[in-house]
Structure 1
Amino acid sequence: ELKELLKREEKVAYVGFEPSGKIHLGHALTIKRMKALQDAGFKIKIFIANLHAYLNGKGTLEELNEIADYNIKCFKALGLSEDTEFILGSDRMSPEYMVRVFQAATQITIQRAQRSMAQVSRDETHNVAEALYPVMQALDIDDLNANVAVGGMEQRKIHMLAREVLPKLGLEVPVCIHIPLIHGTDGSDKMSSSKGNFIAIDDSPKEIKNKVNKSFCPTGVVEDNPVIEMAHYYIFDEHEKMLIERPEKFGGNLELTEEELNDVFSKEELHPMDLKNTVSKYLIEKFAPAREYMETH
């Protein structure tokens, strides 16, 4: 389906974000995919889902709108081109949109809506808002004229709901692209500003170094290791080899491919602190343009 879309003259890819306290490495991974789609000829729309965040218990609309302004600045700092369109969810509310939401709601059971929200919902108690959220998200895709919907892996069930229900309303089925969720610095399943286990794109060099140094990084363990993961997504995406600088008494410098890094680390031939120091250095350099943008705009 995506290959067919690429042949079109005009095509739109969108991603939605609930307003978040800080934009971190997890968000940056998604924006990197949006930039790739932009390079492939897609018009990019970034949807700031303030109403969805409200339904998900993330704060008052006033608070969320303030955070949204900061988030948009962060997304621009990550290098999307100037023709990227930023859209606030509450600005799209129209009688026509709500009628389509009601139409879609007649096609979806409460159980199906709740199931699609399993990895997204913040509330442990189930309320009507939890069922409304995925219905609105499905209709957002059509409302934004999007051909491609991008999201984290936790969005898969909502996107599959959209692929089921939109054709029933005579609307185009979107292609869905899902981005891996990166581990928090504490080793938990998901980096999150609410959990405090994140590295923000506008953190100072000192903050990045401190956060990486405190990160969960068990000796000899490669799988589900946040620091190894940072190297995978933010160093080896652009560098064939990673330079690890260390004193001669500790074995001297190493220049490693990703495969070699995983090998020496799993054999406990590389100390976690040497890995952390290296990853910090690369992250500080990688996000220098974003920090500069945030300071000057």
Structure 2
Amino acid sequence: MDKIELIKRNVQEIVTEEQLIALLNQKENPSAYVGYEPSGKIHMGHVLTVNKLIDLQNAGFEIIVLLADVHAFLNKKGTMAEVREIADYNKECFIALGLDANKTKFVYGSDFQLDSEYMLNVLRLTSTTSLKRAKRSMDEVGRQMDDPKVSQMVYPIMQAIDIAMLNVDLAVGGIDQRKIHMLAREGLPNLGFKSPICVHTPILLGLDGSKMASSKDNYISVDDTEEDIVRKMKKAFCPVGQVDDNPVLSLFKYHIFPRYDEIIFNRPEKYGGNIECKSYNELEGLFQSEELHPMDLKNGAVKYMNLLLNPVRDLLK
């Protein structure tokens, strides 16, 4: 797989692909970043962007991970000490999930976001950004606010300035980050900074087929036990032969096949014996034709998700 195909794998959008190709032709080791707000559990939605960082790393990018402790503090996720502790844990989890620690630069927001130069650039961008646009950017990442605080309005402005001050070529995020990234692309050149290329990953459904939510317990987190995953997969939405909006198939597409060249579904001989798949498209075809039963698909997901998460579990021991 060439660099472009590797970067495009499992992404929803690249803004713009032409700029990405030009960057790869002009720069031997371009830089890419993603920011993570240290709050709550790391689930497979977060891991989707980690997977993309690994792809970018394999494509020759220098990777910067922003552990956004100041952002989390402003978004009322705990004291600075509490969010810093979570940030440290997040860092170890990302390394256990496959990011090369020797080739990844981890940066805490508090290392530079309180400096005068940073704050001056935040104020400069606020002077050209409407309150309506700032609120809309925040709403898009799931923070519907009846009574928003000023700190929460500054959040997307800071995220744009993060891109500028870290001097990255490319920003990675879920598609819910799009409006913030577009604010950065349009606003940063007016401040004398380059406009970032943006790579957006899709937002995946929860295991029950609805939006992921902690209250529903409908997602896999990196600290789930093997028993937790068995329990969650038994309840997962997985209609016979349905490939669209199937959260179990999504685990294979976005998390399992990017890490394994071949998937083996173990089945008793009376049910046809084992099935081997060498690509996601092959798996989708087998499931759609009903050659592979939902229970076999779920059992395979349990097997490979546990293999994927074992390094994180070892970290937690």
Could you tell me whether the CA contact under 8 Å between 1:202 and 1:290 is conserved in 2? yes
Q: How big is the shift at 1:123?
A: 4.0
Is 1:220 the equivalent of 2:241?
yes
Q: Deviations over 1:33-91 (max 9, x none)?
A: 11222223322111011222233333333322221111111011122222311111122
Aligned-pair Cα RMSD in Å: 2.2
Q: Which amino acid aligns with 2:76?
A: G
Partner in structure 2 of residue 265 of structure 1: 287
Q: How big is the shift at 1:20?
A: 3.0
Return the alpha-carbon distance in structure 1 between the equivalents of residues 83 and 255 of structure 2.
29
Aligned mate of 1:50, from 59, 62, 69: 69
Partner in structure 2 of residue 198 of structure 1: 219
Partner in structure 2 of residue 64 of structure 1: 83
Q: Which runs of 5+ in 2 are unaligned?
A: 1-18
Q: Which amino acid aligns with 1:252?
A: G
Could you tell me whether the CA contact under 8 Å between 1:73 and 1:294 is conserved in 2? no
Return the alpha-carbon distance in structure 2 between the equivalents of residues 59 and 163 of structure 1.
30
Q: Residues 95 and 289 (structure 1 numbering): CA distance in 2 closer, same or farther, change over 3 Å?
A: same
Partner in structure 2 of residue 162 of structure 1: 184
Aligned mate of 2:129, from 108, 120, 139: 108
Q: Deviations over 1:98-143 (max 9, x none)?
A: 1110100011111111122222142431422332111110000011
Partner in structure 1 of residue 105 of structure 2: 85
Return the alpha-carbon distance in structure 2 between the equivalents of residues 238 and 58 of structure 1.
32
Q: Which runs of 5+ in 1 are unaligned?
A: none
Q: Residues 165 and 145 (structure 1 numbering): CA distance in 2 closer, same or farther, change over 3 Å?
A: same
Q: How big is the shift at 1:174?
A: 0.7
Q: How big is the shift at 1:187?
A: 1.8
Q: How big is the shift at 1:173?
A: 0.6
Is 1:19 the equivalent of 2:68?
no
Q: Which amino acid aligns with 2:118?
A: Y
Aligned ranges 1:144-159 → 2 under 5 Å: 144-159=166-181
Return the alpha-carbon distance in structure 2 between the equivalents of residues 57 and 200 of structure 1.
22
Aligned mate of 2:146, from 108, 121, 125: 125
Could you tell me whether the CA contact under 8 Å between 2:38 and 2:90 is conserved in 1? yes
Q: How many aligned residue pairs are there?
A: 294
Partner in structure 1 of residue 209 of structure 2: 187
Could you tell me whether the CA contact under 8 Å between 2:23 and 2:30 is conserved in 1? yes
Q: Residues 227 and 74 (structure 1 numbering): CA distance in 2 closer, same or farther, change over 3 Å?
A: same
Q: Percent identity?
A: 49
Return the alpha-carbon distance in structure 2 between the equivalents of residues 276 and 78 of structure 1.
22
Q: Which amino acid aligns with 1:80?
A: L
Q: TM-score, normalised by structure 2?
A: 0.84
Q: Residues 60 and 228 (structure 1 numbering): CA distance in 2 closer, same or farther, change over 3 Å?
A: same
Find the residue that maps to 2:301 and give its secondary structure: helix
Return the alpha-carbon distance in structure 1 between the equivalents of residues 198 and 225 of structure 2.
34
Partner in structure 1 of residue 15 of structure 2: none
